[in-house]
Structure 1
Amino acid sequence: MVGRRLRRVSGEIARFSAVNVVATIIALIIFNLLVHGVKGWFDGPGHDRPLTVYLIANSVGMFVSYYGSRYYAFRHRHAAGPGGGLLIYVVINLTSFVIPISCLWISRNVFEWSSIYADNIAGNVVGAILGNIFRFYFFRRFVFTKHPTGVRPKQVPAEPQA
C-alpha cells in the first residue's frame, strides 16, 4: 500500500516538476528580456521595475503551468471548482508569488544585488523552489483532488473485533 502510494505521489511530483520547468523557462525568458534585455541589442525596458516584470512573466508561466498540470501532471485527478479548478489555481498561484517576490525583494533591497545572476538566483532558483513546494501541496489538496468536488467518500466504521 505504501509502495503504491509513494510511486503515485513521486510520479505526480515528477510530472508536476516537468510542467514547472517548462513554465519557469518561459517566465525566465520573459523576465530576463524585459529586465535585462539582450546585451548589444537592447536594454531591458523594465530594469527599474523587476517586481512588476516578475509578476507579468510569471503570470504567463502560470497559465502554461495550469494547462500542463490539468492535462498532464494531475490528469488522473478531478479538478475542483469553477473553470476546471482554474479560479482556485490562480488564487493559489498569486498567493505563492509572495515567496519568490520576497526573495527577489530581499536580494535587491536588503543586499542591494541587482545583477542578472542575483535576480535569477533569488527569484528563479531559491524563490521558485520554495514556491513549487508550496504550490504542489496546495494544488494537490484543493485544485486537483482525489475525489470529485474534493469530498471524500463516507468511511464505513470497521466491525468491532470479538
Structure 2
Amino acid sequence: MSVVESALAIIPQPYRDIAIKHRELVKFAFVGGTTWVIDTVVFLLLKSTVLAEKPLTAKVIAVLVATIVSYVLNREWSFRTRGGRERHHEAALFFLVSGVGVAVYSAPLAISRYVFHLSVPEVSLLTQEIADFVSGQIIGVLIGMAFRWWAFRRFVFPDEDVRRRVPAG
C-alpha cells in the first residue's frame, strides 16, 4: 500500500471520499506544505543572518529554493498523470508561472514593510517580525498557492491522463 493510500485509510468518512475525489489537490497541498517548510526555514535563516537588512531579498531566495523542490515533487507526484508538453517547455512554463508566483508571494511582505511601514524604527522589533511572518509566510503563501494551483493546471500541466503510469506486471 502506498503512502497516499495509507494516509487516505486513516481519514474518516465522508472526508475520505472528498480527499479521494480531490486527490490531486491534496497532493498539491502536501507538496505546498513541504515547500512552505523549506521556504520558511530558508527565509528565517537568511533574514536572521546574511540578509538581515534585506528581508525581501531573503524571501525571493527562499521562494526560489522552494520552487525548485516544488517542480520536482509536483511533476513526479502531484501532477504525475498530467502533462501535454515537452519536458523543457513544461519546465520553462513551470518556472515562468513560479516567477510570477514570487511576485504574488512577495507582495504582502512588500506591502507590510513599505506601505504600512511595519518595520523598525516605526514599530518594535517583535511587531516587525510578526508582521513579516504573517505577511510573508501566511498571507503570501496562501495567495501564491491559489495562483499556482490555477496556473499549473491551466498552463503547465494542461492535459489529464497523458502520463498515466501502468504498473509493471
Tell me whether 1:58 sits opposite 2:63 in the alignment: yes
- TM-score, normalised to structure 2, is 0.74
Contact 2:81 2:160 in 1 (8 A): no
The 2-side partners of 1:9 and 1:27 are apart by: 29
Aligned-partner residue type, residue 148 of structure 2: R
**1:142 paired residue number:** 155
The 2-side partners of 1:81 and 1:131 are apart by: 25
The 2-side partners of 1:109 and 1:91 are apart by: 26
Gapped runs of 5+ residues in structure 2?
A: 1-17, 120-127, 163-169
Tell which deviates more after alignment, 72-81 or 128-137. 72-81
1:100 Cα deviation after fit? 2.1
Contact 2:81 2:161 in 1 (8 A): no
**2:97 paired residue number:** 92
1:81 Cα deviation after fit? 4.0
The 2-side partners of 1:66 and 1:9 are apart by: 23
User: Residues 1-162 of structure 1 correspond to what in structure 2 (within 5 A)?
Assistant: 10-36=22-48, 44-78=49-83, 80-83=85-88, 85-114=90-119, 115-146=128-159
Aligned residue pairs: how many?
137
Gapped runs of 5+ residues in structure 1?
A: 1-5, 37-43, 150-162
The 2-side partners of 1:55 and 1:118 are apart by: 17
Please give the secondary structure, in 2, of the residue aligned with 1:77: coil
> 1:72-103 CA deviation, whole Å, 9 max, x = no partner?
11111125244261110000000121122110
Contact 1:80 1:142 in 2 (8 A): no
- TM-score, normalised to structure 1, is 0.77
User: How big is the alpha-carbon RMSD for the aligned residues of Structure 1 and Structure 2?
Assistant: 2.0
Tell which deviates more after alignment, 62-71 or 115-124. 115-124
Contact 2:19 2:26 in 1 (8 A): no
Contact 2:105 2:144 in 1 (8 A): yes
Q: Would you identify which runs of 4 or more consecutive aligned residues in structure 1 move more than 6 Å?
A: 6-9
The 2-side partners of 1:7 and 1:23 are apart by: 20
Tell which deviates more after alignment, 14-23 or 110-119. 110-119
